[in-house]
Structure 1
């Protein structure tokens, strides 16, 4: 037997928090050694934090990263263990995203990333250059103070592997390289590399984890090997939530893995395995023939033995998988946990005293409030388990002294200290929404305020009347569309002003210090359609549901009703989504969001995915939907829906430039400046595109009689 214990980890790093990041790295190495590990792997760019963005173009970021690495090289924790650590490095005046492999105070290898993540949320080519010399290395001359620490003038820099004193070989690949068609682990495994590390900065997205897991399992299933996957966890200063799920995989089987959602600062995953299992898995004839022809990697040695000198010690067994079958959270659970963990990081790292939410009585603000409730539940669970970081953060934000005995173990009691809600009604608001807001706040434990804004609305309207002599009216009272829209927007924008006033002064009114962060509640579909008022109460500090579709939010509320034992949530599901900004007309019909938008929320989700994920313009979108909806809707009706969506999206696109930063959850997030890089001034009539749609619609047969337009399946 050739037994080795290895460790991978997930760390709650924070961009540019060099001291804090260093402490978490050292803690993870210490935990790994306590468990007998001789190899430790950490997340991508763990020293500066993955989300530094354009700070990677600053020399300071590399300099401070070297300073932190110097501390690690000299630490007791990093002795007698091989550590794979991530940081940016400038080589020959070019920026590289690197792994630095160290052992016993020496740098064994600097391995630059070869394939960059450069779509969706990622812009690595803006900050780094890929290493374009496979299986080649060059000399990298170390900074003077690092030379004094290691006694080395130059170290190998490039695509190579590492040979340990007990004749094992370690190979490195970085995050995106796993997702490429010709991944480095293929060539490394054929060259005899037994252990492959992958350091990642992979974010959470609904329904995404399974793709990552299957790729990691496949990486060793065909050609054998031990694969160590490390990932960042938490919010590191951006809108992404990194969801951990670090794992150790042997020959396609998961031996151990970390949590996907937790409030832990440091989480280390270890396993003890017999390397002989790798060699046994590789005995197939076809694999041996390909290996014999495979080109070799340069190898650089270290004096560390991964078996710790105990290679044949009896009585140490292979780690058994604590999760015999990989389990995945449902999308509803992901919504409950991902944004809640992100909100906790944002709250504690911004060093504010809590959140303020305009609670309208509708399902969107209800979902936001329920996610905050989930956050409070996670805090209470962590405090009950003795998580000292969570306890310390909770005491600080609630104004408790450091030596206090306060423990945030009751979610409702903790919510009352840090979560503030406000119903801002007008004469157009209903008693039902007011009651729903009050009942929900009570169920969560929030500090709730109820007010009417009619005086403020009248005052603003009066200014206009005083200056112009004109008295605008709602449409139901005979007013024009312009009057109707302006009167609605007065209410919406005043709610933003009042919301920020209460967020800044409510703690003071309660005899506390500090301020509150304002939460927004515009879902991804409304943002995509532009169904929101610019600078209204959708304008906030952060928005936990801005990347979630209305369809998924409804499913989440249905899940939370039972999971959180909150029957009040049923009334939100049963209510018609309404802005309540206009008086009820003579027909007593409630203002309906879907009627005003001219499309359903289910349809909006389809439009969003086709536009962003499947990269459809108006014409190709129409072509796909004719196939999907053609048995229920006439070609002309589908054309009308597609053109209406694109027209409304185009004329409201400017609103996307002012969207409140939201937790990224959906692949078609419309966050303009960070994710969806498209113009905001469009030729909104799309004359060429729409004319082609009309021509095709006229030529296609109408197959909709089979089902009828009311039965179109659009989800």
Structure 2
């Protein structure tokens, strides 16, 4: 029983550069950990500064204020008699490092720099930090003078060391190090480490949590050990949403899991574990043989036990039982992730709400339903007596006594929608938009933009002496496209006008954030007008595929009791920018020359499989060859890359979007590619050559 240790991991909704707020949330998490009788508390990566400071990590102020906050935390009366693992940046020998600070009873025990940095996808850590790159090397770090004076310390060890407590051994692994081929936990386990701490800044991405869990589970199954995983939660000022899910595992079994989508600023999970079970799991001779042949880590010896004397002789103190992992469906991830992200953006931007151009189509309906989901989550938090959420709601709606727990009532204060119709709009889309707005409870405005667009065309005619016409009325392709773009861009202008003035119309103060509603597939193909109503302040669905959005609405139709969503699902996707005739109804997929599922495939092959035109064609021959000829596949690939190339410039002005999809096109953030492309002449020649050979091979087989 003396080997029972209670340990805690937390997830915090930190905000980049919010030093005092971050400090207070860290202290609160330590208090909660102690209330749960934990003797060790692990926090998320770079929690003092917030993970997303980016180029602010190049500023000396960031390091100075981090030390000031650290001193405040570890000297705080509520932060004593517990081993603390706190994340912050540290400069050593004029080199910047992403570090973990291990502290106990007002003293720094160890500074552990990150060994391997994350430099793919959304991350550019090596722009701001240098990896330690020296396993098992420890040096002396001289504390800044004001820190030394505050803590009565002059120097502390910095490097890749482990902590030898009186009853167990603790090792540190930071975020990316878990994902590397040769993870530090393997060597640490072979050197006797029994408890592994991993502080992370891992963002949400559809279908990603199972990968994260699988890595931790596999590490503790193979090596044995107790693994604490901590993570940021919320939006700390950028496109990413950190989805929490702190975890504690022992020998492959999940003992505790934090929530994935939640509005609580501080959440602490804990577990009681028998470290003897770790020792028993390492009985294989191979473990011992490999352990004695590996070099040892430098140990930092602590006169401290993670097991508590009082708990040792408490007959009710027992190890935490295992539990199954909680994984939600991609549809639920879309419902809750972007909704929580929108709430953080709304409350921290000090805006009065959201304005959404509601077209009656599937995309804008998805954005509207995500806002509805946000209202459901917020009002649920109010029901649960979350005073932080209630205070934010009261400030946003401008009512110090507001206490409603009805999502529709909340939406009536903070959500504004508008159908911006034209002579090309159908009564069906207008009706769908109005009914959805009524169901959600938004303040809805129905208007016609024809007067505005006619004025623009009249001005052009007066200046040039020529009046453009739609294609169906004898106009050229250039005229037809220009008349469509006038409508689209007019809506963007009106959206910002109404977002600024509608609160004033209702006697409210403040202005609104304009929401976008273009999906990742349309951005990939460039099927949108530059600076149209897809241009907004933030876009909750900009990183989600059309296919996933359809399944999301299928889910929320029943889960949120919104039968009107079936009408959106049944409708043909259309921009409604051209006149409808007996022989022509505008359709998105016809206009694009490809279906949305095909676009998703192109996106995954381009980004995830890293395919150019030629290798993409070779992949699709085997994926689509059962229903398309090689020539047809070649035509589709060439068409995709043609439009991708000529429209790539549009992504340079994309609205900041919630990152959700692995083939996102966020320019110079997640997707680093040029925006001026040559023609794909040579690539297309090679595709045609190989397609012809496939066709010839098929003909010969038929002739035999």
Q: Secondary structure at the match of 1:254?
A: strand
- SS at 1:680's partner residue? coil
Q: Which digits, 9 at most, give the CA deviation of each residue in 1:154-174, with x for residues without a partner?
A: 10000000112x232110000
Residues 345-403 of structure 1, C-alpha deviation per residue, up to 9 Å, x if partnerless? 000010101000000000000000000000000001110000111101000000012xx
Deviation at 1:675, TM superposition (A): 1.0
The answer as to 2:555 corresponding to 1:559 is yes
User: Is 2:696 aligned against 1:695?
Assistant: no
CA deviation profile, 1:620-640 (whole Å, cap 9, x unmatched): 001100111111111010000
Aligned to 1:210: 210
Per the alignment, residue 52 of structure 2 pairs with 51
Match in the other structure for 1:155: 156
For the pair 1:300 / 2:305, whether they are aligned, the reply is no
Q: Offset at 1:294? A: 2.2
What is the CA–CA distance in structure 2 between the aligned matches of 1:318 and 1:149, rounded to whole Å? 40
2:245–2:258 CA contact under 8 A, matched in 1: yes
Rounded Cα–Cα distance in structure 1 between residues aligned with 2:314 and 2:21: 40
Q: Distance in 2 between matches of 1:182 and 1:17?
A: 35
Task: Evaluate the alpha carbon distance shift between residue 704 and residue 598 of structure 1 in structure 2; reply closer, same or farther with a 3 A threshold.
Answer: farther
Q: Distance in 1 between matches of 2:698 and 2:336?
A: 41
Report the alpha carbon displacement of residue 34 of structure 1 after superposing the two structures with TM.
Answer: 0.9
2:14/2:233 contact within 8 Å kept = yes
TM alignment of 1:587-626, pairs within 5 A: 587=583, 589-626=584-621
Q: Which range moved further: 326-335 or 415-424?
A: 326-335
Q: Cα–Cα, structure 1 residues 344 and 130, in superposed 2: closer, same or farther, change >3 Å?
A: same
The alpha-carbon deviation at position 585 of structure 1 amounts to 2.2
Give the alignment's TM-score, normalised by structure 2.
0.98
Matched, 1:350 2:346: no
Instruction: Please give the alpha-carbon distance, in whole angstroms, between the structure 2 residues aligned to 1:15 and 1:560.
Output: 33
Counterpart-to-counterpart distance in 2, 1:37 and 1:490? 62
Task: Determine the C-alpha separation between the residues in 2 that align with 1:703 and 1:627.
Answer: 15
Query: Is 1:433 aligned to residue 434 of structure 2?
Result: no
Match of 2:641 in 1: 646
Shift of 1:316: 4.1
Q: Does the 8 A contact of 2:519 with 2:541 survive in 1?
A: yes
Report if aligned partners of 1:360, 1:433 keep a CA contact under 8 Å in 2: yes
The alpha-carbon distance between structure 1 residues 379 and 521, as it changes in their structure 2 partners (threshold 3 A), is: same
For the residues of structure 2 that align with 1:127 and 1:27, how far apart are their CA atoms? Answer: 29
2:36 is matched with: 35
TM superposition shift of 1:223: 1.6
Counterpart residue number, 2:702: none
Map 1:607-686 → 2, pairs under 5 A:
607-683=602-678, 685-686=679-680
> Residues 300-699 of structure 1 correspond to what in structure 2 (within 5 A)?
300-310=300-310, 312-321=312-321, 324-401=323-400, 404=401, 406-587=402-583, 589-683=584-678, 685-699=679-693
- 1: distance between equivalents of 2:303 and 2:410? 52
Equivalent residue runs for 1:5-20 within 5 Å: 5-20=6-21
3-state SS of the aligned residue for 1:652?
helix
CA drift of 1:315 comes to 1.3
Pairwise CA distance, 1:662? 0.2
In 1, distance between residues paired with 2:470 and 2:321? Answer: 65
Partners of 1:268 and 1:290 in 2: how far apart? 36
* CA–CA distance in structure 1, aligned partners of residues 403 and 363 of structure 2: 31
**2:167–2:306: 8 Å Cα contact kept in structure 1?**
no
Cα distance per residue 1:598-642 (max 9 Å; x no partner): 000000000000001110001000110011111111101000000
1:122 to 1:702, Cα distance in 2 relative to 1, 3 A? farther
* Partners of 2:542 and 2:657 within 8 A in 1: yes
Q: In structure 1, how many angstroms separate the alpha carbons of the residues matched to 2:303 and 2:456?
A: 76
- Retained in 2: the 8 A contact 1:394–1:408? no
Structural mapping, 1:223-238, within 5 Å: 223-238=223-238
SS in 1 for 2:53: helix
Is the 8 Å Cα contact of residues 257 and 325 (structure 2) preserved in structure 1?
A: no
Equivalence for 1:242: 242
Quick one: distance in 2 between partners of 1:614 and 1:15? 33
Deviations 1:90-137 (A, max 9, x none): 100101000000000110000000011100011011111000211010
Listed as ranges, the gaps of 5+ residues in structure 1 are 706-715
> Is 2:646–2:676's contact at 8 Å kept on the other side of the alignment?
yes
Partner of 1:145: 146
Q: CA deviation at 1:73?
A: 1.8
Coordinate RMSD, CA, aligned: 1.2
Q: Following the alignment from structure 1 to structure 2, what is the Cα–Cα distance between the partners of residues 492 and 687?
A: 33
SS in 1 for 2:79: coil
Q: SS of 1:109's equivalent?
A: strand
Query: 2:167 touches 2:307 (CA, 8 Å); kept in 1?
Result: no
- CA contact 1:117–1:176 (8 Å) conserved in 2: yes
Deviation at 1:703, TM superposition (A): 9.0
CA change 1:450–1:303 in 2 (3 A) is same
- Conserved? CA contact 2:246–2:269, under 8 Å: yes
Partners in 2 of 1:476 and 1:58 — Cα distance? 59
What is the rounded CA distance, in whole Å, between the counterparts of 1:329 and 1:300 in structure 2?
A: 41
Q: Do the aligned residues in 1 keep the contact of 2:4 with 2:319 (CA within 8 Å)? A: no
Structure 1 residues 480-533: Cα deviation after superposition (integer angstroms, max 9, x where no partner):
011001100000000000000000000000010000000000000000000000
Distance 1:515 1:51 in 2: 26
Alpha-carbon contact 1:44-1:86 (below 8 Å) kept: yes
**Residue of structure 2 equivalent to 1:709:** none
Contact 2:226-2:278 within 8 A present in 1 as well: yes
Q: Is the 8 A contact 2:274 2:319 kept in 1?
A: no
Please give the alpha-carbon distance, in whole angstroms, between the structure 2 residues aligned to 1:316 and 1:703.
Answer: 75
Preserved contact between residue 103 and residue 302 of structure 1 (Cα < 8 Å): no
| Deviation for aligned residue 1:310 | 4.3
Q: Deviation per CA, 1:510-558, whole angstroms, max 9, x where unpaired? A: 0100000000000000000000000000000000000000000000001
Contact 1:105 1:149 in 2 (8 A): no
After superposition, the C-alpha distances for 1:572-610 in whole angstroms (9 at most, x for unaligned) are 0000000000101231x3210000000000000000000
Separation in 1 of the partners of 2:167 and 2:446? 71
CA–CA distance in structure 2, aligned partners of residues 648 and 459 of structure 1: 31
- Kept after mapping to 1: 8 A contact 2:204/2:242: yes
Distance in 2 of aligned mates of 1:539 and 1:319? 53
The 3-state SS of whatever aligns with 2:420 is: strand
Deviating more after overlay: 296-305 vs 86-95 = 296-305
In the comparison of the two structures, how many residue pairs are matched? 698
Q: Counterpart of 1:712?
A: none
Cα deviation for residue 704 of structure 1 reads 9.1
